[in-house]
Amino acid sequence: MVFGLGTLGYILAFLVLRPVLILSKTSDNIETDDIITCGITSHLKSAKYLILIDNNNLKDGNIPAKSRIKVDKLFTLDKNIIKKNVAKLNKETFEQVKKNL
Protein backbone atom coordinates (compact mmCIF):
# COMPACT_ATOMS: atom_id res chain seq x y z
CA MET A 1 0.00 0.00 0.00
CA VAL A 2 1.37 3.43 -0.90
CA PHE A 3 0.75 6.36 1.41
CA GLY A 4 1.04 9.94 0.28
CA LEU A 5 1.04 13.51 1.40
CA GLY A 6 -2.39 14.63 2.57
CA THR A 7 -3.83 11.11 2.83
CA LEU A 8 -6.07 10.18 5.75
CA GLY A 9 -5.63 6.64 6.96
CA TYR A 10 -6.42 4.38 9.88
CA ILE A 11 -3.87 2.87 12.24
CA LEU A 12 -4.45 0.01 14.61
CA ALA A 13 -3.78 1.29 18.14
CA PHE A 14 -4.75 -0.76 21.17
CA LEU A 15 -7.07 -2.89 18.98
CA VAL A 16 -8.99 0.22 17.84
CA LEU A 17 -8.67 1.91 14.45
CA ARG A 18 -7.53 5.52 14.88
CA PRO A 19 -7.43 8.11 12.09
CA VAL A 20 -4.23 9.97 11.13
CA LEU A 21 -3.23 12.48 8.48
CA ILE A 22 -0.09 11.52 6.58
CA LEU A 23 2.26 14.47 6.17
CA SER A 24 5.34 12.88 4.63
CA LYS A 25 5.82 12.74 0.86
CA THR A 26 4.91 9.59 -1.06
CA SER A 27 8.47 9.25 -2.37
CA ASP A 28 9.85 9.39 1.19
CA ASN A 29 7.25 6.87 2.38
CA ILE A 30 8.36 4.38 -0.27
CA GLU A 31 12.03 4.64 0.74
CA THR A 32 11.65 4.41 4.52
CA ASP A 33 9.69 2.38 7.06
CA ASP A 34 8.48 5.43 9.01
CA ILE A 35 5.90 8.03 8.02
CA ILE A 36 5.18 11.44 9.53
CA THR A 37 1.59 11.91 10.69
CA CYS A 38 -0.66 14.00 12.87
CA GLY A 39 -3.72 12.88 14.77
CA ILE A 40 -7.37 13.37 13.91
CA THR A 41 -10.21 13.44 16.41
CA SER A 42 -13.99 13.48 16.17
CA HIS A 43 -14.15 15.48 19.43
CA LEU A 44 -15.09 18.89 18.10
CA LYS A 45 -13.83 21.12 20.89
CA SER A 46 -12.23 24.27 19.55
CA ALA A 47 -8.55 24.95 20.09
CA LYS A 48 -5.81 26.97 18.44
CA TYR A 49 -4.22 24.12 16.47
CA LEU A 50 -7.30 22.07 15.54
CA ILE A 51 -8.59 22.29 11.97
CA LEU A 52 -12.22 21.32 11.41
CA ILE A 53 -12.83 18.99 8.44
CA ASP A 54 -15.78 17.18 6.89
CA ASN A 55 -16.39 15.53 3.54
CA ASN A 56 -16.39 18.94 1.81
CA ASN A 57 -12.66 19.20 2.65
CA LEU A 58 -11.79 16.00 0.81
CA LYS A 59 -10.58 15.45 -2.74
CA ASP A 60 -11.28 11.70 -2.57
CA GLY A 61 -13.06 9.37 -0.17
CA ASN A 62 -15.18 10.26 2.83
CA ILE A 63 -15.04 10.33 6.60
CA PRO A 64 -17.85 9.13 8.88
CA ALA A 65 -18.12 12.32 10.96
CA LYS A 66 -16.92 15.89 11.21
CA SER A 67 -13.46 15.81 12.71
CA ARG A 68 -10.54 18.00 13.70
CA ILE A 69 -6.96 17.59 12.54
CA LYS A 70 -4.65 17.93 15.55
CA VAL A 71 -1.87 19.90 13.85
CA ASP A 72 0.07 20.23 17.11
CA LYS A 73 0.22 16.42 17.60
CA LEU A 74 2.92 15.21 15.19
CA PHE A 75 4.43 11.74 15.40
CA THR A 76 6.19 9.12 13.31
CA LEU A 77 4.76 5.67 12.77
CA ASP A 78 5.94 2.48 11.18
CA LYS A 79 4.04 2.42 7.90
CA ASN A 80 3.10 -1.22 8.45
CA ILE A 81 0.54 -0.23 11.10
CA ILE A 82 -1.45 1.81 8.58
CA LYS A 83 -4.38 -0.44 7.80
CA LYS A 84 -6.05 1.46 4.97
CA ASN A 85 -6.33 4.77 3.14
CA VAL A 86 -9.72 6.38 3.59
CA ALA A 87 -9.57 9.79 1.99
CA LYS A 88 -7.37 12.58 0.69
CA LEU A 89 -7.59 16.22 1.70
CA ASN A 90 -8.26 18.78 -0.98
CA LYS A 91 -5.48 21.25 -1.79
CA GLU A 92 -6.99 24.20 0.11
CA THR A 93 -7.42 22.24 3.33
CA PHE A 94 -3.94 20.74 3.12
CA GLU A 95 -2.49 24.26 2.63
CA GLN A 96 -4.31 25.30 5.83
CA VAL A 97 -2.72 22.35 7.66
CA LYS A 98 0.74 23.34 6.39
CA LYS A 99 0.24 26.94 7.55
CA ASN A 100 -0.53 25.73 11.06
CA LEU A 101 2.42 23.33 11.38
Q: 3-37: buried (b, 16+ CB within 10 Å) or exposed (e) per residue?
A: bbbbbbbbbeeeeeeebbbbbbeeeebeeeeebbb
Range of the domain at 76: 7-100
pLDDT band at 2 (very low <50, low <70, confident <90, very high): low
Residue 71 lies inside a defined structural domain of this protein? yes
Residue 11 lies inside a defined structural domain of this protein? yes
Which CATH number fits the domain that encloses residue 53? 2.30.30.110
Count structural domains, the chain: 1
Predicted model pTM = 0.83
Residue 2 lies inside a defined structural domain of this protein? no
Residue 3 CA: distances (Å) to CA of 19, 48, 62, 92: 14, 28, 16, 19
Residue 33 lies inside a defined structural domain of this protein? yes
Residue 1 lies inside a defined structural domain of this protein? no
Tens-place pLDDT, residues 52-62: 999 999 999 99
Residue 61 lies inside a defined structural domain of this protein? yes
